[in-house]
Structure 1
């Protein structure tokens, strides 16, 4: 029996996250502290990354909120 093909989670490093969300590093970390941005996952040492799915969801939520405000 074969397993269904699933795409493994993709990790994004800070420059990619900044590019996708349009925020600077300080703003991202301030929002993490406030609980309004996804927390990164540790890659070991001081290296961190974000799950692409978490970033995509955060972007989608911002778009949804903007659409509701416009209605």
Structure 2
């Protein structure tokens, strides 16, 4: 959690990682599993910034990690 900024937004590739771009995962699940978790309420709801831009608040991801520990 030390690599996360205090506030701001994260894209999905920053949360689940992207091996092609060398981004390590914060939550090691596949894309489909993460979206299923969002739909079921296990993971926080996203924020749409535009037609093709979806983000999650860093505070929500920090809370999710803290609750899992």
Q: Normalization by structure 1: what TM-score? A: 0.73
Give, in angstroms, the shift of residue 9 of structure 1: 3.3
Measured on the aligned residues, the alpha-carbon RMSD in Å equals: 1.7
> Which of structures 1 and 2 has the bigger CA Rg?
1
List structure 1 segments (4+ residues) > 4 angstroms apart after TM superposition: none
Q: Deviations over 1:7-52 (max 9, x none)?
A: x831000111111111111111000111111011001102100001
Unaligned runs of 5+ in 2: 1-5, 17-24
Specify the SS of the correspondent of 1:42: strand
**How many residues are matched?**
57
Which segments of 5 or more consecutive residues in structure 1 lack a partner in the other structure? 1-7, 64-71
Which has the larger helix fraction?
A: 1
